[in-house]
């Protein structure tokens, strides 16, 4: 109830569309809200928009037809709408379509509260009352007779709720209706999306259409590298190439001469990032002779496939980046019981610094697989009573050295200076080798 009360205080605000979506003033005004509410999606500052985002922005700019976004699984249909809405502080009322969805799931239904019968508004009614976006995901899974019941609302007419005494809900000026689906509403001719139904033509005709595919390869490569800097750039690129080949197999469009059959699963951007994350987390398994990339592949995607498809995915992985995997395994398995990266490594260093005694020596060791996927780089720092010493270079040739006197270190503390510099290197993609650290 408190969340609903919060919606009463929403106030609209004119914004500059360029500043909101690209941080560059454009002079084009777009209406949003002054403050977010509990129903406003959280902003992901690292989210990367696609070219098709402009269609959704145009839709948000003008109070026009409802929006229908279609495309393959995991291509970002829902997240695009929600991230654009988040930047306008738009409340989003979300529901997922399915074969047993009823109109009351959208409009609302009677319920018992404190022993009394009360009416609880559904996402459609809430969006119409308070001026939000009603977002129906997987709308092509909804029976066409249910979705056709939305026709009058999609035309801009009020919503009549018979279950609440015939209440007439007039659409708020900021009300928007958006739907996402894997098909364009004309049914599934590919056989890839079981349960998708052909929608009523009169219903489908009311929408502005937007097709959304997977992000461009360069966008996905940058996204993977940005999220997981400890992975070599070349390896990130190969993982994206692998994901795109799997997508082609899924669509029956593979250019491979050996893998001609279509498969029943595919990579979304979501599962690609999961694969990259697990590859980083499973790096310590390399010292046991377990390949982190294929081990993570199973747990990110391949375990959902049949045995035949899983074998095909493994064969494809072996053909596409065996040398890169061997290099990554070699780096991770050079006698280290544990490898830390990202925030885990930063947290370790923070604890290390808190336990360090100023006036005594301490040493940390970092390593990075370079972009060519073969060579490794070393970075060794030592905090001494008189200052901080650095040694860095390629593995086996760490001959670059620098020394910083105590009085030029941060707060005249060599340990603090070393922590700051080491954290910076970790954010650049270096791994921490705790076993080689000492105090």
pLDDT band at 292 (very low <50, low <70, confident <90, very high): confident
pTM confidence score: 0.69
Smallest Cα–Cα separation from 362: which of 260, 290, 308, 434?
A: 434
Instruction: Tell me the residue length of the chain.
Output: 439
Quick one: pLDDT at residue 336? 41
Between CA 409 and CA 389 the distance in angstroms is 11
Query: How far is the CA of 275 from the CAs of 236, 283, 286, 339, in angstroms?
Result: 11, 12, 16, 18
pLDDT surpassing 50 at residue 337: no
Which distant-in-sequence residues (6+ apart) come within 8 Å of 323 by Cβ?
373, 374
Between CA 374 and CA 328 the distance in angstroms is 8
Lowest mean pLDDT among 1-15, 131-145, 237-251: 1-15
Quick one: pLDDT at residue 323? 53
Mean pLDDT in residue range 164-172: 92
Contact 143, 99 (CB under 8 A): yes
pLDDT surpassing 60 at residue 89: yes
Quick one: pLDDT at residue 403? 93
Mean pLDDT in residue range 39-56: 87
Contact 401, 371 (CB under 8 A): no
- Please provide the average confidence, as pLDDT, over all residues in the chain: 84
Dmax over Cα atoms in the chain, in whole Å?
A: 82
Mean pLDDT in residue range 181-207: 81
pLDDT surpassing 70 at residue 332: no
pLDDT tens column, 260-269: 456 888 898 8
Structure tokens at 165: 């005494």
Structure tokens at 40: 């406003």
Quick one: pLDDT at residue 179? 95
Mean pLDDT in residue range 162-191: 88
CB burial of residue 399 (10 Å; 0-12, 13-18, 19+): exposed
Quick one: pLDDT at residue 200? 83
Contact 293, 238 (CB under 8 A): no
For residue 387, the cross-strand partners are: 384, 405
pLDDT surpassing 60 at residue 373: no
Lowest mean pLDDT among 15-24, 189-198, 308-317: 189-198
Quick one: pLDDT at residue 173? 93
pLDDT band at 301 (very low <50, low <70, confident <90, very high): very high
Quick one: pLDDT at residue 117? 86
Quick one: pLDDT at residue 77? 92
Between CA 371 and CA 378 the distance in angstroms is 14
More confident residue, 234 or 17: 17
Which distant-in-sequence residues (6+ apart) come within 8 Å of 159 by Cβ?
107, 124, 125, 128, 153, 168, 169, 171
pLDDT tens column, 379-401: 999 998 899 999 998 877 888 89
Quick one: pLDDT at residue 370? 62
């Amino acid at each position: 109830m408190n969340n609903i009360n919060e919606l009463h205080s929403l106030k609209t605000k004119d914004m500059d569309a360029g500043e909101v979506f690209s941080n560059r003033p454009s002079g084009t005004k777009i209406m949003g809200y002054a403050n977010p509410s509990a129903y406003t999606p959280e902003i992901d500052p690292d989210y990367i928009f696609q070219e098709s985002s402009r269609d959704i922005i145009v839709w948000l700019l003008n109070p026009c037809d409802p929006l229908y976004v279609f495309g393959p699984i995991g291509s970002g249909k829902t997240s695009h709408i929600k991230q654009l809405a988040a930047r306008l502080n738009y409340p989003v009322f979300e529901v997922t379509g399915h074969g047993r969805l009823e109109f009351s799931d959208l409009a609302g239904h009677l319920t018992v509260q404190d022993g009394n019968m009360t009416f609880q508004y559904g996402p459609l009614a809430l969006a119409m009352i308070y001026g939000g976006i009603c977002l129906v995901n997987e709308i092509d899974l909804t029976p066409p007779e249910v979705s056709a019941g939305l026709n009058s609302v999609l035309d801009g007419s009020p919503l009549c709720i018979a279950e609440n005494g015939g209440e007439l809900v007039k659409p708020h000026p900021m009300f928007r209706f958006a739907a996402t689906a894997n098909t364009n509403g004309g049914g599934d001719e590919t056989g890839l999306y079981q349960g998708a139904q052909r929608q009523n033509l009169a219903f489908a005709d009311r929408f502005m259409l937007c097709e959304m595919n997977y992000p461009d390869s360069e966008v996905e490569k940058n996204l993977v590298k940005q999220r997981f800097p400890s992975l070599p750039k070349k390896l990130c690129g190969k993982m994206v190439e692998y994901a795109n080949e799997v997508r082609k197999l899924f669509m029956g469009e593979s250019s491979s001469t050996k893998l001609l059959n279509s498969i029943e699963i595919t990579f979304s951007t979501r599962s690609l990032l999961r694969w990259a994350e697990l590859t980083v987390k499973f790096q310590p398994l390399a010292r046991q002779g377990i390949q982190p990339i294929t081990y993570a592949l199973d747990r990110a995607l391949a375990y959902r496939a049949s045995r035949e498809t899983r074998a095909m995915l493994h064969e494809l992985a072996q053909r596409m980046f065996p040398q890169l995997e061997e290099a990554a395994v070699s780096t991770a398995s050079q006698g280290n019981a544990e490898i830390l990266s990202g925030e885990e490594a930063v947290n370790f260093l923070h604890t290390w610094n808190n336990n360090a005694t100023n006036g005594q020596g301490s040493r940390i060791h970092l390593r990075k697989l370079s972009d060519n996927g073969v060579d490794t780089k070393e970075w060794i720092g030592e905090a001494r009573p008189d200052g901080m010493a650095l040694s860095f270079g390629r593995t086996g040739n760490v001959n670059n050295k620098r020394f910083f006197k105590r009085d030029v270190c941060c707060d005249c503390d060599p340990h603090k200076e070393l922590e700051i510099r080491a954290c910076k290197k970790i954010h650049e993609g270096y791994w921490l080798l705790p076993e080689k650290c000492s105090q």
